[in-house]
């Protein structure tokens, strides 16, 4: 079975795309990038300023993989009468369509073409659209689970600045509310969403904030260029996925990165299951790289297809064999954080994660239920070469999502745990943007619930994003910031916070215990004169080590506090 449109379903919503009339699709593998007008010495000709800034931030060199496919090669393929669908600079391929065998022979004969492979064969009578979709037995493929009223809702913790509504449990399970409370909601972070379609995402009110504040940077259909990815006939899988990150309906559903910016990319081929989608995925990830995306969310995966000739085997899942896993590795090596669903085959015959979830640099997300227990549909590791997968888990069973109708309800699948984490990672990275993607991933892994004994069901466990934040350097501080100290320290009753160089400035003061829990947060504090604030709340706290965070007026600083 093939792609994990990682949803388990209860009420089937008819969202099939219209019957496809496309001719057969092929991939031309090119020998080189000769006669290319682009040069790695002038990357601004093919990479955005934001993309180049990301490379510079993490000291990532521009190399030959970054060069676009030679434009003249594209022109010559198009000149044969073939329809060019997309290209991949990382794989050095051209995806094209033709139903004419003569055209196909002409493309094969081009001097720069190494080989041509079919990736979207015409269906035989024995191959039904969507028959290769990995799904729970008895559940229709391409459908959305609605479990309205069947999932308990956690009470909202007092003091949170966001009213998560039905999303409270999935958010607080990973302790993300503490980052949100500190103002880290994804602002300035760019998330690319690779998916199957975003039906009505330009109309339903859960995304009003994104549109009104220009946080939808753009969108593109890679698989069928020029299509309207928001059309009601499109699949709504991406709509639900986006809601877990960018949704913002206080009291009903607030996503994990409500103030991030998004670019929406359709890479899927509707109800068919074909190898071409892996090349579409590569082209979509390259677009994400070019625009300067920080995070990719991909609730997609590939194992088997409508035509069994193209099926992957478990031995292919080593992170370096399938086209999509190769592309995902190159995306990660460009400084993006690639977050991918583990899959929904935990209870099926396949069982294991698919591609690109097998990638060593891909952050693979499994699913747990409302109480944090392993969801039995969640695909497991290890990869063929023995690596632990998934990396971590989050709530994917009974997760709160929005549907294309605008309704808010519950759904299940690792399609939902992945965007939940992708948004959370954007917020974490926002706190410390100088840290590399690898450092951010490690901070989450090594502070998660099973960091000491990871396995192939939970991975490193359920993350704690506040602890992860503390572990990667306690945020960013600039040289111009006021200096911070506590006195006395150590102390018996309570200390005073002393901030020099910032009279008459407003600050917020928070205290965290060593489990990462916020045990005190002040309201707005205006420090006059010598900038002293007594944290009397320490009187009620037991002896131990604490971290005091001071935020405001351009500063974010921590200091260790020791109560005797």
Residues whose CB is less than 8 angstroms from the CB of residue 373 and which lie 6 or more positions away in sequence, other chains included: none
Average pLDDT over residues 335-347: 96
Residue 32 CB coordination number (10 Å)? 12
451 vs 67, which has greater pLDDT? Answer: 67
Mean pLDDT of 533-541: 74
DSSP secondary structure string for all residues of 123-171: PPTT--TTTT----TTS-SS-B---TT-S--PPPPTT-SS--BTTHHHH
CA distance 6 to 2: 11
For residues 178 and 251, the answer to whether their CB atoms sit within 8 Å is no
Q: Are 136 and 377 in contact (CB under 8 A)?
A: yes
CA 520-521-522 angle, to 5 degrees, is 125
User: pLDDT at residue 6 above 70?
Assistant: no
The answer on pLDDT for 300 being more than 90 is: yes
User: Over the chain, what is the mean pLDDT?
Assistant: 85
pLDDT at 271: 75
pLDDT value of position 195: 98
Lowest mean pLDDT among 16-30, 306-320, 399-413: 16-30
Q: Give me the half-sphere count of Cα atoms (radius 13 Å) on the Cβ side of residue 510.
A: 19
**343-384 per-position pLDDT tens digit:** 999 988 899 999 999 999 999 999 999 999 999 999 999 999
Asked whether the predicted pLDDT for residue 214 surpasses 90, the reply is yes
146 touches 403 (CB < 8 A):
yes
Q: pLDDT tens, 112-128?
A: 999 999 998 644 333 33
**Rounded average pLDDT over 423-450:** 94
Note the pLDDT of residue 482.
52
The answer on pLDDT for 146 being more than 70 is: no
**How would you class 59 by CB atoms within 10 Å of its CB: exposed for 0-12, middle for 13-18, buried for 19 or more?**
exposed
What pLDDT is attached to residue 9?
A: 37
More confident residue, 379 or 550: 379
Q: What is the pLDDT of residue 498?
A: 66
Task: Name the pLDDT band for 63 (thresholds 50, 70, 90).
Answer: very high
Given a cut of 50, whether residue 18 has pLDDT beyond it is: no
Pairing of strands 248-249, 253-254: antiparallel
User: What pLDDT, on a 0 to 100 scale, did the predictor assign at position 144?
Assistant: 38
Domains plus CATH for the chain?
Answer: 25-120 (no CATH), 168-471 (3.40.50.200), 483-563 (2.60.40.3080)
Mean pLDDT in residue range 527-531: 51
- Stretch 75-89: mean pLDDT, rounded? 98
Helices (H) and strands (E) in the chain, counts: 12, 23
pTM over 0.85: no
Q: Per-residue pLDDT for 555 more than 70? A: no
- Is the predicted pLDDT of residue 2 greater than 90, yes or no? no
The percentage of residues in the chain with a pLDDT greater than 90, rounded to a whole number, is: 68
Provide the pLDDT for residue 547: 80
Terminal-residue alpha carbon distance, the chain: 60
In tens, the pLDDT along 219-272 reads 999 999 999 999 999 999 999 999 999 999 999 999 999 999 999 999 998 778
Tens of pLDDT, residues 453-510: 899 999 999 999 998 988 775 444 333 445 667 777 777 777 766 665 555 567 778 8
Nearest to 208 by CA among 254, 167, 176: 254
pLDDT at 246: 98
User: What is the mean pLDDT of the segment spanning 444-461?
Assistant: 93
């Amino acid at each position: 079975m093939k792609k994990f449109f990682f949803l388990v379903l209860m009420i089937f919503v008819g969202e099939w795309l219209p019957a496809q009339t496309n001719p057969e699709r092929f991939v031309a593998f090119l020998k080189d990038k000769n006669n290319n007008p682009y040069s790695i010495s002038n990357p601004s000709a093919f990479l955005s300023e934001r993309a180049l800034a990301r490379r510079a931030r993490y000291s990532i060199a521009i190399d030959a993989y970054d060069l676009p496919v030679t434009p003249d090669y594209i022109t010559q393929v198009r000149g044969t009468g073939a329809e060019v669908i997309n290209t991949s600079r990382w794989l050095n391929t051209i995806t094209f369509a033709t139903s004419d065998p003569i055209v196909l022979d002409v493309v094969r004969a081009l001097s720069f073409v190494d080989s041509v492979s079919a990736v979207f064969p015409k269906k035989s009578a024995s191959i039904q659209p969507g028959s290769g979709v990995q799904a729970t037995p008895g559940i229709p493929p391409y459908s959305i689970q609605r479990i309205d009223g069947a999932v308990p809702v956690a009470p909202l913790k007092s003091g949170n600045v966001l009213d998560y509504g039905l999303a409270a449990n999935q958010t607080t399970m990973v302790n993300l509310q503490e980052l949100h409370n500190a103002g880290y909601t994804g602002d300035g972070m760019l998330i690319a969403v690779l998916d199957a379609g975003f039906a009505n995402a330009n109309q339903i009110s859960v995304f009003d904030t994104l549109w009104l504040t220009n946080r939808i940077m753009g969108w593109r259909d890679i698989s069928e260029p020029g299509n309207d990815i928001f059309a009601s006939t499109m699949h709504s899988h991406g709509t639900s996925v986006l809601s877990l990150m960018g949704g913002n309906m206080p009291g009903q559903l607030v996503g994990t990165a409500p103030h991030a910016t998004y670019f929406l990319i359709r890479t899927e081929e509707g109800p068919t299951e074909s190898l071409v989608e892996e090349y579409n995925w590569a082209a979509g990830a390259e677009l994400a790289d070019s625009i300067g995306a920080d995070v990719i969310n991909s609730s997609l995966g590939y194992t088997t297809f409508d035509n069994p000739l193209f099926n992957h085997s478990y031995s292919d899942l080593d992170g370096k064999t399938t086209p999509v896993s190769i592309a995902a590795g190159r995306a990660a090596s460009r400084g993006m954080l690639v977050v991918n669903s583990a899959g929904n085959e935990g209870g099926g015959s396949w069982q294991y994660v698919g591609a690109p979830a097998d990638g060593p640099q891909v952050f693979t997300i499994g699913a747990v239920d409302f109480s944090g227990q392993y969801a039995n549909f969640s695909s497991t590791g290890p990869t063929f070469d023995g690596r632990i997968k998934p990396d971590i888990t989050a709530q994917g069973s009974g997760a709160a999502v929005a549907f294309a109708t605008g309704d808010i309800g519950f759904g299940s699948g690792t399609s939902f745990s992945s965007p939940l984490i992708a948004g959370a990672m954007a917020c974490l990275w926002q706190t410390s943007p100088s840290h590399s993607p690898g450092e951010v991933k490690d901070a989450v892994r090594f502070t998660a619930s099973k960091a000491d004994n990871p396995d192939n069901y939970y991975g490193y466990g359920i993350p704690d994003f506040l602890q992860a934040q503390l572990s990667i350097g306690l945020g960013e501080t600039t040289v111009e910031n006021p200096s911070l100290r506590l006195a006395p320290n150590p102390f018996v009753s309570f200390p005073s916070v002393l901030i020099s160089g910032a009279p008459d400035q407003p600050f917020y003061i928070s205290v965290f215990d060593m489990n990462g829990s916020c045990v005190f947060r002040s309201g707005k504090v205006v420090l006059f004169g010598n900038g002293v604030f007594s944290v009397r709340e320490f009187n009620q706290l037991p002896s131990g080590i604490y971290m005091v965070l001071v935020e405001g007026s351009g500063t974010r600083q921590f200091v260790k506090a020791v109560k005797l």
